[in-house]
Amino acid sequence: DVKVTQSSRYLVKRTGEKVFLECVQDMDHENMFWYRQDPGLGLRLIYFSYDVKMKEKGDIPEGYSVSREKKERFSLILESASTNQTSMYLCASSLAGGGNTEAFFGQGTRLTVV
Amino acid sequence: DAKTTQPTSMDCAEGRAANLPCNHSTISGNEYVYWYRQIHSQGPQYIIHGLKNNETNEMASLIITEDRKSSTLILPHATLRDTAVYYCIVRVPSGTYKYIFGTGTRLKVLA
């Protein structure tokens, strides 16, 4: 089974802190994604990566950056956390190969910024 | 990316088939239809996907209309554990590799 593991289930951080959310997948997938999920807004794509050191902005990249130094690991960084970044964060991975490859999701990290 | 339209919520009796519709009238010929579900406080779970032929796996069946403008996910014998939000996604097979989620259908299976 594909496993996508997010480092924390719950996090509480203070405003202005630098926050790292880590995601690791064990299936040698080329593509990795970070989404955030908020009530009434569904899942929104923050960033995705299609290879090591390669990244592209999603729909809501402002206030976030990412790092992919190794194929299996994709990190989401909140440079200076703000209360409007309180959300559920979901990581996913998939094989390359276009539209015929399903994505697998982690269990999510519920981040609260106080 | 093509957008999808789903009903906000549906109920289904336990043991009956649950039929979840999705409209994707602007879909292009090379775009796949994916279905995911999300049980409360968990990450989305892949169910099934297809291009133009009907598909079936151990979880569900996917029926895509001939003009590909709509599809239906069928859970043949719904159980209480199928209560979840179901997302229909249309995904472009090249370029940005994005999965664009809408707000989904909240399915409640009733005992």
Is B94–A102 a contact, with Cβ atoms under 8 angstroms apart? Answer: no
Interface of A with B (CB under 8 A): 4, 31, 33, 35, 40-45, 48, 50, 56, 58, 90, 92, 94, 96, 98-100, 102-108
Does B30 reach chain A within 8 Å, measured CB to CB?
Answer: yes
Q: What pLDDT, in 10s, does the model give residues B25-83? A: 888 888 889 999 999 888 999 999 999 989 999 999 999 999 999 999 999 999 999 99
Residue type, A41: L
In whole angstroms, give the CA distance from residue B110 to residue B37: 17
Q: Measured between beta carbons, which residues in chain A are less than 8 angstroms from residue B104?
A: 42
Mean pLDDT of A90-94: 94
Cα B105 from chain centroid? 9
> Is there a contact between A58 and B98 if contact means CB atoms under 8 Å apart?
yes
Number of residues that this document lists for chain B: 111
In this prediction, residue B2 carries a pLDDT of 57
Indicate the SS3 state at residue A63. coil
Inform me whether the pLDDT recorded for B1 exceeds 60. Answer: no
Confidence band of B95 (pLDDT split at 50, 70, 90): low
Per-residue confidence (pLDDT) for residue B93, from 0 to 100: 61
pLDDT one-digit tens code per residue, A13-52: 999 999 999 999 999 999 999 999 998 888 889 999 989 9
- In chain A the first and final C-alpha atoms are separated, in Å, by 36
* Cα–Cα dist A107/A101, whole Å: 20
